[in-house]
Amino acid sequence: QHNNHDNSIESLRLYHIELYHWMMMRVVLMILLMAFMEMDQVHAISGDSQGSTKDATTIERRSGPWLDGVPTPLPLLSKTRISRDTSIFRFRLPDLDETLGIGVCSCLLASLPHDRNVTRPYTPISSRHVKGYFDLLVKRYPNGAMSCALHDKLKPGDPILFWQIPFNIKEQYPFGKPKTIVMLAAGTGITPMYQALQRLFGDREKDCNDLDTKVYLIYGCRTAGDVYLRKEIESMQRMYPNRFSIVYVLSDEVDAGPSTGNNNDGIKTLVGQHMNKEVLEQVCGSRLLKQKDCRVWICGPPSFYNDLCGPREQTSKVGGALRSFGLKPNQVIKF
């Protein structure tokens, strides 16, 4: 029995030693991972993988667990349906006095706590100044594991894991100060554009008035009911009519219907058409798109990228309709 007792003590001692070594190894790995992510982030911001003018000194982002690659559970506050298949989800931050702080044109990764294999990127649409919460606009897809879980199962108080990686940080204000930005969006692809529009035209900071960049938003949807954030976007256009123009391209509509723009020449609607080379020429003109200081931003479903600029993952070349305008990879940003 004495020998058994000694053996038990020795086994326990060895177990604690192994546990200590395992914990120390994990700490070292976490430190190395965070250092790698920081280096990768600086490269993603200051490099020119898409030829952009990102600068580590201009990124409007702060630190925080979900911003440093650590999946963080954040509870749902409310869910507001805005169309037959789309809702705005409001999530609470740990500190009610803090902002989300992810930077402009950035998205978060979201995952189900019980199934990390179900992960999707979402771009917040709430103002970067709001404290204590952030909003996501999410469309429900019949076969979408994440969107169905959010719409059908998530209740107030239920958590979703959120975090950010460097790849999810795209163009940063002032976006290289181009003369023109042409935004091509389809469906919920409006969300990163809306983030940038808030920074350009809806921000209460004075520096947003320092730019003279002109923006053309060409927004493709099936019907007028599928146009998200219409009231907010058109409000910005009325505030900056000389710098901001909107064109809705509604493929399944036969009548343009009323606009909240009060017959504003800066807000137009094309019906029965799809976004293609002819529409781009009609709205912008080939001369504008061929200018060196013109930038084109694109966000939408895979077919949208394929038709207009080539697959999203191919950042080193421009395909689709934009290829005919002679645009170079550093002029086209695929969100």
| pLDDT score for 26 | 56
| Full DSSP string of 11-57 | HHHHHHHHHHHHHHHHHHHHHHHHHHHHHHHHHHHHS-TTS----TT
Say whether 170 counts as a known binding-site residue.
no
| pLDDT score for 140 | 96
Q: Please, where in the chain does CATH 3.40.50.80 lie? A: 180-334
| pLDDT score for 292 | 85
| pLDDT score for 258 | 53
Say whether 133 counts as a known binding-site residue.
no
CATH of 72-163, one of 3.30.1360.200, 1.20.1260.10, 1.10.443.10, 2.40.30.10: 2.40.30.10
For 180-334, CATH gives 3.40.50.80
Q: Is 320 helix (H, G, I), strand (E, B) or coil?
A: helix
Say whether 122 counts as a known binding-site residue.
yes
Which amino acid belongs to residue 313?
Answer: E
How many Cα atoms are found within 13 Å in the side-chain-facing hemisphere of 27? 6
Residues with pLDDT less than 50, the chain? 27-28, 31-58, 206, 259-262
| pLDDT score for 16 | 59
Across the beta sheet with 214-221, the strand order is 267-271, 244-250, 214-221, 180-186, 294-299, 332-334
| pLDDT score for 19 | 58
Tell me the longest C-alpha to C-alpha distance in the chain. Answer: 94
Q: Please, where in the chain does CATH 2.40.30.10 lie? A: 72-163
Say whether 137 counts as a known binding-site residue.
yes
Say whether 86 counts as a known binding-site residue.
no
Helix/strand/coil (H/E/C) assignment for every residue in 64-115? CHHHHCCCEEEEEEEEEECCCCEEEEEEECCCCCCCCCCCCCECEEEEECCE
Cα 287 from chain centroid (whole Å): 29
Say whether 121 counts as a known binding-site residue.
yes
Say whether 192 counts as a known binding-site residue.
no
Enclosing H/E stretch for 145? helix 145-152
